[in-house]
Amino acid sequence: MAIATRLVLGSLNGLLAPIKAYAIEVCQAEHHALGLSVVNTAWGFGLVIGPALGGYLAQPAEKYPQTFSKESVFGRFPYFLPCVAVSLLAAIVLISCIWMPETIHKHKSPEKDIEKVKALPSEQAYLDSPRKKSLLQNWPWMSTMVSYCFFGLHDTAYSEILSLWAVSDRKYGGLSFSSEDIGGVLAVAGASLLVYQLIIYHWVHKFLGPVISSRVASALSILIVSTYPFMTYLSGAKLSFALYSAAMMRSVVAITASTGISLLQNHAVRQDQRGTANGISTTAMSFFKAIAPIGAGYLFSWAQKHQDSTFFPGDQMVFLVLNLVQLLGLMFTFEPFLVLPTVGEECS
């Protein structure tokens, strides 16, 4: 039932794709990076606030007995209140969307142009009439899909493994953290991400561009993740400093890579195709994100059973596989895998 519910919620939540297209539409070309950064910032802000809000509102009859009675509906259904809160937020978003202006204005062809086309022979009119290129024939856009999916797969698997690894015992290569400890790490990483995207990323994109910034960020991510297995030998302030620093840097480089690919995708398609293009790419990435927790959980379970292996102990093998996924995404940001649109083909 829980899996079916999440499937339906994910199927009906089609906000991210049109919001990305909308951000590109309403921003001038020099502000596209900032526009997508704001979208990702809002998304990251929700990822930080959402779990905290859910934990605060869950089981209200036990946490706030003076306000909520155990005989009330909130006592019988301890997770009803956070669900109601989320539904109210969704209703507010739905109502606010009514007043959002449309960004695509379709104009009818001038009558003179229609008369000219009609005056041509039928065969000539067909040859000279403009034809829209299908998205599946748009190789600059299609070539970004692989990296986008691999980056999404890596990001979700990393988030899953980080929590499992940090709370696992040190004999399994973990850190023996409590849930509160790892929650603090994730909160600080999320907060640093908000600052980076709103203030710093715009300048990174300005100096490096979407392609170079994605490549550099992906390569740095591999280096950062490679340090995690060795943190089990640290303790105290050294461990806290190393883990917090690595988590913050890894969040920053991950969002840099994915935002750069998103910019390439939106610049490779026409204005009237951006909604569809973002929808297809988000759907493909969501599929990879759906299999990431399953694969990450299986990999971590296997790693704990092979912690004493001579060649790459289990905890090191986990992060090695993560880096291999990231390496695949990095590889597809180079030619001949990545096809950049020419100046004439690039759509603003």
Is 210 inside a domain boundary? yes
Q: What percent of the chain has pLDDT over 90?
A: 20
Most confident of 59-63, 182-186, 236-240, 282-286: 236-240
Q: What is the pLDDT of residues 169-202, one digit of tens each?
A: 888 788 888 877 887 888 888 888 888 888 898 8
Q: Quick one: angle between helices 32-57 and 201-226, nearest 10?
A: 60
pLDDT at residue 122 above 60? no
Confidence class of residue 244 from pLDDT cuts 50, 70 and 90?
very high
Contacts for 320 with CB less than 8 Å, ≥ 6 apart: 312
Mean pLDDT of 12-33: 79
Give the separation between CA 21 and CA 275, rounded to whole angstroms. Answer: 6
Is 78 inside a domain boundary? no
327 is written with which tokens? Answer: 């390496």
For 121, other C-beta atoms within 10 Å of its C-beta total 8
pTM of the model: 0.77
What's the domain count of the chain? 1
The pLDDT assigned to 172 comes to 79
Question: What is the average pLDDT score of the chain?
Answer: 82
The pLDDT assigned to 20 comes to 83
Q: Are 68 and 61 in contact (CB under 8 A)?
A: yes
Is 55 inside a domain boundary? no
Is 267 inside a domain boundary? yes
Looking at per-residue confidence, does 345 or 274 come out higher?
A: 274
Give the separation between CA 149 and CA 137, rounded to whole angstroms. Answer: 19
Is 319 inside a domain boundary? yes
For 152, other C-beta atoms within 10 Å of its C-beta total 24
Is 229 inside a domain boundary? yes
Output the domain CATH number for residue 178: 1.20.1250.20
pLDDT at residue 151 above 90? yes
**Domain membership of residue 268 as a residue range:** 138-331
End-to-end CA distance of the chain: 44
What does 104-154 look like in DSSP terms, one character per residue? ----PPPHHHHHHHHHS-HHHHHHHS--PPPGGG-HHHHHHHHHHHHHHHH
Mean pLDDT of 244-250: 94
For 45, other C-beta atoms within 10 Å of its C-beta total 15
Looking at per-residue confidence, does 52 or 260 come out higher?
A: 260
CA angle 119, 121, 124 (to 5 degrees): 115
Confidence class of residue 222 from pLDDT cuts 50, 70 and 90?
very high
Is 75 inside a domain boundary? no
Is 287 inside a domain boundary? yes
Q: What is the pLDDT of residues 54-80, one digit of tens each?
A: 777 888 888 888 888 888 888 888 889
